[in-house]
Amino acid sequence: MPYAMTDDMPMVDSPDGEDRSRREEEELLIAERLHIFASRLSKLCTEQVAKKNQIEQRWLDDIRQYHGEYASDEAAKLARQKGSEVFVNITRNKTNAAEARLQDMLFPTDDRNFGLYATPVPELDYLSKQQPEQPDEEEPIAQARQIKAAATEAAMAMQEVIDDQLLESRYHIKARDIIHDACQLGTAVIKGPIIIGRTKKRWDVMPDGMSVLQIVEALEPTVERVDPWDFFPDMSAKAVDEAEFIFERRRLSKKQLRDMAQLPGVLVSQLREIVKTSARDTHIAKDFTDDIRNITGINTVGEGNKYEIWEYHGPISKSELIDAMEMSDEGIEDYEKDELDDEVEATVFFAGNRVIKVSLNPMDSDERPFSVFNWEKDESSIFGFGVPCLMRSAQKVINASWRMMMDNAGLSVADQLVINKELLYPADGSWDMTPKKIWYLRDKTRSVQEAFSSFSTPSHQVELANIFSMARQLADEETNLPLIAQGEMGPHTTKTSSGMAMLMNSSNIVLRKAVKNWDDDITRPLVTRFYDWNMQYNEKAEIKGDFSIEARGSGALLVREKQQENLMIYSNLSMAIPEFAKRRDWAELDREIAKSLEVPYDQITLGDEEIAEMEAMNMEMASMQVDPAQQKMQLDMQLKQVDLQIRMGKLELEKQKAQAEIANDEAQVQLQIAKMAQVERLEMMKLEIQERIKLAELQTQYRISGNTTGVRAAIDSEKIRTERDKAAAATNTRLTEAQLKNRNLNLGYDTFG
């Protein structure tokens, strides 16, 4: 008989209802524990944000100095003083020079800055399975060689794979961005490998010859730049490897949060609660974007309605992992419950007091994906010092000295005037000083000096210029970036190529240190993590093996000038010593020399076949016999040509000697002509004076004695004139002889020519 329910019967929960209530209670308990978990992380993050505030204020000063801006309080002080407010920005040039030099050294256009090499005892699983069961005495050596060759080949294959992954992730471009961060702020952060879904296009050729486009989506490792303003590590650590945990801030819109809900492992219920709240409720750290925009001259636009999503990398308890992943105790029964092993390395996404996603560290090595590079390390902190911070004092001295020069120039270029208004007044009614101004004295008994006085301000441009120059030298020394490292001519440049190479080598000392820091802090750990990821997840067995990572930024890629010199010395030494010469691979040495000189080796080098053809042609030409009579005729002609050249040379020397003698005689003739002309002028002047004296005497006697005396005076005057004509004729004769001699000399010169 079926059981019928009546209204007066008590309600009894069905088994499904009991399970649903139990699940709801469990979900509420899990949500409460996740709330406590997120609150703990939020509190820990807030502590690191407060500790980092001092460093962020220093970064703001660095950015202001880089862009040539004074701090607000200093700008207000200069405005009150009503003096010069100029900013002589040499910080930007220094920073850009350091950035450009470091980029050029670390990322050459013709090679990578890392390499993979097989370890001395490589362990290759797929080769170990191929060992024979009963090897003879020679087989171990052959197997060792085979294993070594296979390991080298696998290392090269792994190197190509990592290089391709870095190229696909645009590592070089992102590395240049973090180099800018390091030079400007002193700290740069790169993150990788991180896994993203990348879409690739592939054309498949069908049997009928048609090509079909295939869209393939693959999960591949990549790298990304982390903004130093969004990087909050354990502030008590001195290096990133010592940090107990790391926080990274992300700013996402609601649309990005909705897209995030599609990712696997995201707690959608927690994400839904975050979206219901205001974006400001998720903010923990101050956003300095508006401050940076104000410095660069952009109006404040604000960040809008962006949520702060925090990414935590560090240890969490197993119970927190269970709650976040909604796992049961049976799901982690392999974990041991002890104090030392109660934590696991995980990545947690949270906002406010809500946990969004928790995942275990995907790397078996438990390495975190962050690498930090400092331009100059701070031994007490993860964050280092940039170029603006290092030259802060020198920049202040430069600005102060230049402002004083401008103020002093403005004061010393014009006098200070003192005017007594009781003694005078301007005609136009204005007391401003203008050119051609008219003034009226009120009291005509007083002088204008009593009404006007002027005072000059002495000029100190030389002293201030010396201070400016010394400050620039201090900036070079404090940053270790001399003018020659910036591509400018310094005061100690040399004119010789070897001396210039030594100066360039010396100017790279600090850059070598920075390159070595990059090798140790970025290249080696980043490539190692990519190597570990490929060993763990890559399906290609032929690329796997026991390899070592070599960072080559501070080696062959650093100072090419020194490498060129060493290669040339080594090649000359090998050519001089036969024992060395037979050990050299000359083709590879030629390739290395061309590579160091940055010339296209493949375009200018002949191949083996072309060289063989040229050698065969030369041998064929050498084997050809020459007619002895024709050879004797050629030698005789060569001897005649040599003899003719000798005779022509002798004639040329004689001609030059004769020309020199003719030129000397001509100069002597001209000198004699000049002397005779001078003597003639003197004699003519003498005769003229005597004639005047004689005429004066004759005129006097004529007045005294009458006509008889006048006749006699005329006779005497005629005699004097006759003597003068004779002297002139003699002078003309001498001039004619000199000209005749000069003509003969010219005639002899023309005859010789």
Per-residue three-class SS string for 318-367: HHHHHHHHCCCHHHHCCCCCCCCCCEEEEEEEEECCEEEEEEECCCCCCC
Closest CA to 369 of 345, 353, 389, 391: 345
Q: Is the pLDDT of residue 753 over 50?
A: no
- Assign 191 a pLDDT band (cuts: 50, 70, 90): very high
Query: Which residue type, as a one-letter code, is found at position 360?
Result: L
Task: Compute the average pLDDT of residues 525-539.
Answer: 91
Task: Compute the average pLDDT of residues 322-344.
Answer: 55
CB atoms under 10 Å from CB of 662, counted, come to: 17
Q: Could you report the per-residue pLDDT of 16-51, keeping only the tens digit for each?
A: 556 666 666 766 777 788 888 889 999 999 999 999
Looking at residue 521, what DSSP letter applies?
Answer: I
Tokens describing residue 193: 């490998």
Task: Compute the average pLDDT of residues 482-494.
Answer: 55
CA 703 to chain CA mean position, Å: 107
Which pairing describes strands 343-351 and 307-317: parallel, antiparallel, or unpaired?
antiparallel
Q: Is the pLDDT of residue 181 over 80?
A: yes
Q: What is the pLDDT of residue 43?
A: 93
Q: Could you report the per-residue pLDDT of 364-375, keeping only the tens digit for each?
A: 888 899 999 999
Q: What is the pLDDT of residue 643?
A: 84
Closest CA to 268 of 277, 279, 257, 278: 257
Task: Tell me which of 357 and 665 has the higher pLDDT.
Answer: 357
Task: Compute the average pLDDT of residues 95-113.
Answer: 79
Task: Compute the average pLDDT of residues 697-707.
Answer: 66
Q: What is the pLDDT of residue 719?
A: 67
204 neighbors 211 (Cβ within 8 angstroms)? yes
Q: What is the pLDDT of residue 752?
A: 41
- Burial annotation 588-599 (CB, 10 A radius, 16+ → b, else e): eeeebbbbbeee
Tokens describing residue 381: 């902190």
Q: What is the pLDDT of residue 60?
A: 94
- Burial annotation 354-384 (CB, 10 A radius, 16+ → b, else e): bbbbbeebebeeeebbbbbbbbbbeeebbbb
In the block, residue with structure tokens 């003899």:
643
CA 739 to chain CA mean position, Å: 76
Task: Compute the average pLDDT of residues 208-230.
Answer: 82
Closest CA to 190 of 369, 376, 55: 369
398 neighbors 475 (Cβ within 8 angstroms)? yes
Strand partners, 673: none
pLDDT above 70: percentage of residues in the chain: 73
Q: What is the pLDDT of residue 67?
A: 92
**Measured between alpha carbons, how far is residue 189 from residues 143, 181, 227, 243, 433 in Å?**
44, 8, 7, 14, 61
Q: What is the pLDDT of residue 389?
A: 93
Give the whole-angstrom CA distance, residue 626 versus residue 624: 7
Of these ranges, 345-354, 597-606, 626-635, 682-691, the one predicted with the greatest mean pLDDT is: 345-354
Task: Tell me which of 682 and 496 has the higher pLDDT.
Answer: 682
CB atoms under 10 Å from CB of 81, counted, come to: 11
Task: Compute the average pLDDT of residues 647-656.
Answer: 84
Q: What is the pLDDT of residue 392?
A: 92
pTM above 0.75, yes or no: no
- Burial annotation 56-70 (CB, 10 A radius, 16+ → b, else e): bebbeebbbbbbbbb
End-to-end CA distance of the chain: 155
Q: What is the pLDDT of residue 313?
A: 94
Q: Which residues contact 658 (CB under 8 A, 6 or more apart)?
A: 749, 752
Q: Is the pLDDT of residue 82 over 70?
A: yes
